[in-house]
Structures are given as C-alpha cells and as structure tokens.
A = this chain, B = another copy of it.
Amino acid sequence: MHRTHNCGELRRANAGQTVTLAGWVNSYREQGKELVFVDLRDRYGKTQVVFYTDDDSKIDSLARRLRREDVIKIVGEVRYRGDGLVNAKLATGEIEVRVQQLVVLSRSKTPPFEIEGGELPNEELRLKHRFLDLRRPELQRNIILRHELTQAVREYFNQRNFLEIETPMLGRSTPEGARDYLVPSRVHPGSFYALPQSPQIYKQILMVSGFDRYYQIARCFRDEDLRADRQPEFTQIDVEMAFVERDDVLNTIDGLVSSVMKKVRGIEVPVPLPRYTYRDVMERFGCDKPDMRFGMEITDITDIAGASEFSVFKTVSSSGGRIRGLNVKGGSEKYSRRLLDVDLKNFVGDFGAKGLAYMKVAGGKLESSIAKFFSDAQQQEIISRMQGEEGDLLLFVADTYKVTCAALAALRNRIGKEQNLYDPASFACLWVVDFPLVTWNAEEGRYDAEHHPFCQPNPEDSEYLKSDPGKVRADSYDLVVNGYEAASGSVRIHDSEVQQMVFDLLKINSEEAERRFGFLLEALRFGAPPHAGIALGLDRWVMLLAGNDNIREVIAFPKTQKAADMLTGAPSGVDDRQLRDLHIDVVEPPPK
C-alpha cells in the first residue's frame, strides 16, 4: 500500500509518528529558500506537508518542481503545529508532516479549471474533463451521498425480508409512452432487444412466482428528448409486494423515506406522510405535484364572482368555468402595476389563461379597477373566504377548470419562490392518491392509461368502467417531494379478465395484447396474488438531498441534453463489419 494513513485522519495524537501519505498536490507555496508547503489532498481530506531545504537538497529541488494535481507519495514525521498555529478550518489542522522522502508517482499537465474554488467553466468543458471535474469537492460529496443513500435504501429493504432480484437489460420491445432503445440481435437477424423502460412486467412476474417482496436499484432507459432533469439512462428504486393493499406500500415507503433521510442527512421526516386525493390537490394546488413547503392554497370564488357585475367573471361562471385565486400575503406593496399587468399576466398566459385579475385588501375593502363590480357584501365575502388581511394581494384567474389549475399552480410556484415563502433546504413530502385511471387522447380518439395498463381500477368505480371510463379512479399513488414527482406506483391487476378489460378500454386489441403482453396475461392465469408496487427516482432523490437542481451533478458520468457522453465521445461511428454482423444498415436522414 502506498500509504499508511489517508490525508484526512492525522491528529495531534499522531505527533512523533513516521507516516506515509499519498495524494494530489492541492496547493503549493514556497516560503523563501528554506521551506516549501504542499497541501496534499485525497478523498478523505487534506494534510499540510512541509519540505525543508536543510533536510535534503535533492528532495527540496524535486519539491520545487511540484505542480498542482501532481500525484506524490511522501514519508515524513507528524508534528504538532504549535499553539496558535493550528488551522481550525482543516480537520488535520493541528499537525503537519515534515517530509523525509518524496516520490513523484505521476505528473499532471496544467488543469483547464480549478479543482477547488475558482470560477467554473461551462458544463461542456467540465464533462469533457470529467476525471478532473469529479475531483471537485462538490461532486465528491454528491457521489458519496449517492452511495450512502443507495446503501441505506438497501439496508432498509434487506431488514424487511425484501429480495433484490436482477431483471434483464436485454428485454422485449413493448412500445408505449416513451421510445425504446433498441439493440439489434446478431443471432436472430431482423430481431431486436429493447433496453427496459422499467422492470415493470418482470417484477409482476416475480410476484406471480412467489417472491413476495422484491426490490432492485434498477437502471432504466427512455429515448426521449431530454429536459434538464432527465437522462437517457436513469436509476430507479424499484419495489413490488404481494398479498398487500395500497396502504401497505405507502406505509413501507413512509418508513423508507423517514429512515433514509434520517440516516443520510439527519433530517426528521414525520410519518405517516400526509395523503391527499388527486381531486383534492388539483382543487387546492392546481397540480398533482404540489410544493408543500409553503401554503398559499388556491381558493375558489366562482359562486361570488358569478353573482357579481363583472361580465368576464359572469361569462366564465355561466359557461361552467371557474374563478379561482391566490392570496399573496402582504403582497400589495411588492408587485407593481407593471409587474401585474404585463409580467404576471404574460406568465399565466403561457398556461392558457386569458387574463389575470388582481385586488388589494386595503382599509377592510378591495382595491382594484374591478372592485366597483362587487357589492360591499361580495367584497367582504371574498376577503373572508380568501382569509384576506390588510396589505394582501389577491390574484384571480377565470377560465376552464383545467386552465385555472395550470395557471395558478405555476403562479403559486413562482410567487412562492420569489417571495421566499419557504426554506429551500427544507423538505415537504406527501402522497397523492386516486389518480384517474385513464385520460382521453383526443388526437388518437381513445383513452390512454394515466399510469400504465397494469394499474388496478378502483373497485368502487367499476360500474363506470364501460359507461364513463374517465370517471374511474385508479388504485395508484405518487410520492411528491418539494414539487417533484419522487415516486409513482399502483396496485396492479392480478386477474387476467380485468386485465383484458383494461386492454379493451385502451383499445389494445387482443392480438396486440397477446403479442406484447401475452406472457403476462398467461402468467396471471396460473394463480397470481394481489400485488402492488412503486418506483422511486434515485437520481432525483439524491439531487434533492444534495440541494442541487441539475441531475448531472449527482451522476458520475452523465450525458448531455443531446444524449452524448462528452468524456468518451459516445455515441460514435462503428466499423462496417459490426453493422454487417448485426444485419443492419444506416439510413441517411433526409437533408433538413
């Protein structure tokens, strides 16, 4: 071993010992002709090592040629720095090591950016030099956090009789939702494997096989156009349980979240996490993944507004639309007329809202260009329902239910952030349950599964399955953290006839169902237990815990938004022979 200690562990108690350290030259400083100071760095910390000219002129001249990021090994004596000379900022700040031997293990060219401090270059340069970027303390911390979180997750499940079972990466293409990544088969010309979008069907098969508690930290793939928080390959904590009902899964994940947050970051998360229905969060927050770090809920005033003299509100109300609003506490001084009339109006416009009405609470009344359309009683009713107080700003959108949801949810998030309504380091987790089973796809003229085609319809709604499918609730649930969907799951169908009925509803005809999911249908015919499961996005969870909003900061070797690996240059051209072996040919895309 090229070291007796790492660079983070020496203390005053080690004084007098002869040690061997190895690491990177983090900084280099000469003090006249007598001394050279080097901060030696490794994953564990930094230690100051000192070269004295008097000790050995050869070592001294070698030391004077050291540059940042060179890798060296030194042997030396640990010394207490002396009272008043201790560096309290450094864990090893009580000591330094007086060098007796020096070996340069490896030289470094001048790095294109600073490892510590300094301004960060653009992300592309960092990704191209990922081997240097990963040396930066922030990324070291993130990767270590990711390791710790992953292991805490495993420990939690292992202690509860869950089995980690590996499912195939080379699977069958069952196109739906996202695009599959395909892998041409050499042995079967013209056939393809697909990389899994999730281990969904395999884990259901495992339940049918009697492995009643399964988990896997599973790599999944989606060939989608990427957004900031998406990667072509991502990692999910994949869970499935048999002989359970919805709340058993929710309780299990409550326990996971609270135990992992406590273990990894020392954060207390009270459980059970609050559970809201889809209908409830849409009504109160306008979206199915509300950020609950702050309140400012949506309030409906359709009845009052519809009875007013304001024609816009009246028209919306009478045509079945809604008038809903937010109360920005103490906001009347914070938003200028310009901000309200232009900026916020355009902002909600991006979500389809035709306008933004606003009123200020002043002197116990409403102050607004439209206040005159409201009677005193109506004004009092609005103030009371909105819990308005002196100085509050009330914002309203009048539109279809869908548009009011979208516009007010976005507006709420924006104002929450710009008014600092919450501590960005805090966490607010909740469950959203009872999603709709299907949504109408007007373009294709059929229903789409809201979660996926294996999701159990709520038995209470089975009467609507044929008559009014849009009304049927699914036995599904999402875990929402700080406005992100952190996990998604459902009770699964374990009856092949119900499964067939849902396929029919989704207009997946029998032949297609047989071709794509035949093996699952067949498995359900041989004694399938009731089962339910969930998948949590690992990357996103680490990102939230790292306090970051770029998912690439918590992945060792991420891809760009163009799905490229800047370090290795993947994807790349390949030899013609490789393509011949795989029985495929490249088709040039038509010129743009």
Contacts and interface: CB of A to CB of B under 8 A. Distances in A.
A134 interface: yes
A172 B589 contact: no
Contacts of A151: 154, 158, 164
B583 A586 contact: yes
Contacts of A518: 569
Interface stretch (A254-262, A425-433, A525-533): A525-533
A501 interface: no
A582 B182 contact: yes
Interface in A91-116: 105-109, 111
Interface in A139-156: 140, 143-144, 146-147, 150-151, 154
B164 A150 contact: yes
Residue with the greatest number of chain B CB neighbours at <10 A, chosen from A180, A190, A589 = A190
B578 A134 contact: no
A525 B108 contact: yes
Of A135, A143, A180, A571, the most chain B CB neighbours within 10 A belong to A571
Q: What copy number does this chain have within its complex? A: 2
Contacts of A529: 2, 22, 71, 105-106
A584 B587 contact: yes
A43 to B, nearest CB: 5
B179 A578 contact: yes
Interface string A524-558: 11111110000000000000000000000001110
A564 interface: yes
A357 interface: no
Contact of A495 (B106, B571, B581, B587): B106
B131 A205 contact: yes
Interface centre among A186, A518, A563, A568 (most CB of B within 10 A): A568
Given A147-B164, A154-B154, A179-B578, A526 B69 contact: yes
A248 interface: yes
Contacts of A109: 525-526
Interface in A307-362: none
Interface stretch (A28-36, A117-125, A208-216, A437-445): A208-216
A171 B565 contact: yes
A583 B568 CA distance: 22
Interface stretch (A192-200, A447-455, A469-477, A482-490): A192-200
Contacts of A42: 210, 212
Contacts of A588: 189-190, 583
Contact of A187 (B169, B189, B563): B563
A202 interface: yes
B168 A557 contact: yes
Contacts of A578: 173, 175, 179-180, 182, 192
A13 interface: no
B210 A24 contact: yes
Contacts of A70: 527
Interface string A154-181: 1000100001111111111101000111
A562 B106 contact: no
A219 B168 CA distance: 9
A245 to B, nearest CB: 7
A277 interface: no
24 contacts: A1-B245, A22-B529, A41-B210, A42-B210, A106-B530, A131-B526, A132-B209, A134-B209, A147-B165, A151-B154, A167-B557, A168-B233, A168-B570, A172-B572, A173-B574, A182-B183, A183-B571, A188-B562, A188-B564, A189-B588, A192-B571, A205-B567, A584-B584, A584-B586
Give me the 7 closest cross-chain CB pairs, A-B, nearest first.
Answer: A108-B527, A134-B209, A172-B570, A191-B571, A185-B571, A172-B568, A2-B243
Given A71-B528, A172-B570, A187-B562, 14 more contacts: A71-B527, A73-B243, A106-B528, A131-B523, A134-B209, A135-B210, A151-B158, A166-B235, A170-B232, A170-B570, A183-B195, A186-B223, A192-B574, A205-B567
